[in-house]
Amino acid sequence: MAKDRDNKSGHSTGTPKAPPEGSYRITDAQAFGRNMAKVAAKSQQLAGQFLVRQAHRAGQDPFDPLNISGAWLALLKQMAANPTALLNAQFELWRDYATLLQRTAERVAGRKVEPVVAPQPGDRRFRHPDWQENQVFDFIKQSYLLTANWLQRTVAGVPGMDERTQNRALFYARQFADAIAPSNFVLTNPEVLRETLSSNGENLVRGLDNLLTDLERGQGELSIRQTSGNFAIGKDIAVTPGKVVFRNELFELLQYAPSTGTVYRAPLLIFPPWINKFYILDLKPENSFVKWAVERGYTVFVASWVNPGPALADKGFEDYMRDGIFAALDAVEQATGEHQANVIGYCIAGTLLGATLAYGAATGEYRDRFASATFFAAQVDFAQSGDLQVFVDDEQLESLEQQMRASGGVLEGSKMAMTFNMLRANDLIWSFVVNNYLLGREPVPFDLLYWNSDTTRMPLKLHLTYLRECYRNNALAEAHMQLAGKVLDVKKIQTPAFFQAAREDHIAPAISVYRGARLFGGEVTFVLAGSGHIAGVVNPPAAMKYQHWTNEALPATLDLWRAGATEHAGSWWPYWDSWLAPRSGEQVPARKPGDGALAILADAPGTYVLVKAGGLNTEPKSKRSKAA
């Protein structure tokens, strides 16, 4: 059967064929009994390890680090104050169940009936044919969907709650509904049940082995493996030719070898997010933004951020501005002789770039060093920043600070990864629980998910400042945030700016990116791409995937912008190139790494990118080039 690779979860997207009727039976009772004995033994081993680890960790972690109890208590209080609304909601659920029972009875009698409720488009949990063709599993599926939808509607409709608390309660209601889905259990998932019976339980034995391995790798915390690919950085991914030409304690600067005889005068300097490794922009040659930009005639530099240990716990926004953006601009000037550069900030690095530009507007420092600024899925205004707002109440931030201090002043990468995975739990958590643990299968090799699992740590001061100042207080947008004692006002930024957002982005919602774009005081261009936070950015033109929208105006709201926008097929990269090229100066002879004042320190992708999140204090020693 031909299968397409899904770009979100790494699972195949072909619809499984339904096994023949009557296959819900054990094929070998003795083999099944032996495997169930193995399952029991491994389950006992798993439970024993869990109890030992919990006893060891007792008192170390906060009891409720996500403050779920606070959200539920607030919800229950408001529900108790509005009993009529709750009774109406319960009546609605009973009515829907009565309709489902009636239609199920009609179907059993041989009549064709329409389902009471259907999964949302793109919900892959119920794609096995038995969820539709088998009456029992169809009833289980519809019962679950009715209850899950009712739960979320009820929570969203409770009057009297403030918006943030209600959003938190709704988020956790959705997490609960996703967790109890019948697809996550052996006896209520037809594909898993068939596999269990036909293989005499071999799938469960393999699944428990996978689970034990993941717990061991996570040192007691579940670290779900999302890909089986053993990708080698610098060999399979991050292979665009280049050199490390500068290094300090925060980043290595990569300069890529030209592939054209001439290049634009203004170099291109890219700051990826430090929440993950830089090579999301240089995965494989066919989807590498770095390679494509080099081929378009830009002299490309990329900051490869360090994976910070406790020694960098006190580094904050000002440090990442001065020893990050400013230091990189100086190094680029030494390498090329050019005083100005076109600068890109992706995600959180775009927030830093916006703060840096506002600092320059306030002080004049480095203000003339930016020929232009491009923002990939980056937020400056956090008033409508989506589900990540769930994690920034005072109780959670206090708990987070406690955890980071206990870890030496850093946030472990696994904790950040779990937060992002929760935003799309069905794709990035439960689909792998079913595949790896219930079906006992190996995840498929997938470069994007390898990158997603290659986590980095966060320094305490930098991360908490980001969450408090941006997510909780929206201080950057409201001109309250300070760097080096200077109040930042993004409305004073005059640097030509290009903002890219993605229609389905769950990390930097398009509405949030758009609000930030409208704050800038200079010339601003905004483009909306199809797909999400990663695929919306990393979408090479040759792939001919998705679409993008353009509109020269910047009306008051994103809805108005979209109403006047023009849709175009395929990648937005060429549109950005047509915007950047006129701001990049004339053509000059191509520059090679090492031609300028900076000596070559190492081959790309460098050494910082190889540091894994599991080992603290493994960063290479700070080493500058001779010219630095």
473-502 tens-digit pLDDT: 999 999 999 999 999 999 999 999 999 999
DSSP per-residue codes, 552-581: S---SSHHHHHHT-EEEES-SHHHHHHHHG
Q: What is the pLDDT of residue 53?
A: 66
Alpha-carbon span 515 to 495, nearest angstrom: 17
> Is residue 470 annotated as part of the catalytic site, yes or no?
no
Please compute the mean of the pLDDT values over residues 216-233 and round it to a whole number.
82
Q: What is the pLDDT of residue 346?
A: 98
Q: What is the pLDDT of residue 24?
A: 80
Please compute the mean of the pLDDT values over residues 171-175 and round it to a whole number.
92
Residue 514 or residue 625, greater confidence: 514
Q: What is the dihedral of CA 16, 18, 20, 23, to 10 degrees?
A: 80
Q: What is the pLDDT of residue 11?
A: 53
pLDDT value at 622 more than 50 = no
Q: What is the dihedral of CA 353, 358, 360, 366, to 10 degrees?
A: 10
Alpha-carbon span 275 to 320, nearest angstrom: 13
pLDDT in tens, 553-575: 999 999 999 999 999 999 999 99
Please compute the mean of the pLDDT values over residues 256-274 and round it to a whole number.
97
Per mean pLDDT, which range of 38-52, 339-353, 455-469 is the poorest?
38-52
pLDDT in tens, 69-104: 888 888 888 888 888 888 888 999 999 999 999 999
pLDDT value at 538 more than 50 = yes
Among 347, 411, 467, 609, which one carries the catalytic annotation?
347
pLDDT value at 43 more than 90 = no
What's the mean per-residue pLDDT of the chain?
89
Rg (CA), the chain: 26
Q: For 481, how many CA atoms within 13 A lie in the half-sphere containing its CB?
A: 31
Q: For 485, how many CA atoms within 13 A lie in the half-sphere containing its CB?
A: 0
Residue 418's contacts (CB-CB under 8 Å, 6 or more residues apart) are: none
Residue 610 or residue 6, greater confidence: 610
What separation in angstroms does the CA of 52 have from each of 58, 62, 218?
10, 18, 15
Q: What is the pLDDT of residue 56?
A: 61
pLDDT in tens, 122-159: 899 999 999 999 999 999 999 999 999 999 999 988 88
- The DSSP letter of residue 622 is P
pLDDT value at 178 more than 70 = yes
Pick from 168, 155, 152, 158: which is nearest to 81 by CA? 158
Beta bridge partners of 370: 341
Counting every residue, how long is the chain?
628
Please compute the mean of the pLDDT values over residues 318-325 and round it to a whole number.
97
Residue 379's contacts (CB-CB under 8 Å, 6 or more residues apart) are: 350, 351, 385, 470, 508, 512, 513, 516
pLDDT value at 2 more than 60 = no
> 18 falls in which pLDDT band (50, 70, 90)?
very low
Sheet holding 300-305, edge to edge: 566-569, 547-550, 524-529, 497-502, 370-376, 341-346, 268-271, 300-305, 251-256, 242-247, 602-603
pLDDT value at 67 more than 50 = yes
Topology at the third CATH level for domain 242-412+455-610: Rossmann fold (3.40.50)
Q: What is the pLDDT of residue 13?
A: 44
Q: What is the pLDDT of residue 17?
A: 52
pLDDT value at 292 more than 80 = yes
One-letter amino acid for residue 238 of the chain: A
Please say whether the beta carbons of 124 and 131 come within 8 A: no
pLDDT value at 54 more than 80 = no
Can you give the residue ranges of every domain in the chain?
Answer: 61-198, 242-412+455-610
Q: What is the pLDDT of residue 164?
A: 85
Q: Which two tokens stand for residue 540?
A: 């090479």
Q: Which two tokens stand for residue 494?
A: 């005059």
Percent of the chain with pLDDT over 70: 91
Please compute the mean of the pLDDT values over residues 27-44 and round it to a whole number.
85
pLDDT value at 165 more than 90 = no
Pick from 270, 269, 241: which is nearest to 257 by CA? 241
Beta bridge partners of 486: 483
> 163 falls in which pLDDT band (50, 70, 90)?
confident
pLDDT value at 48 more than 90 = no
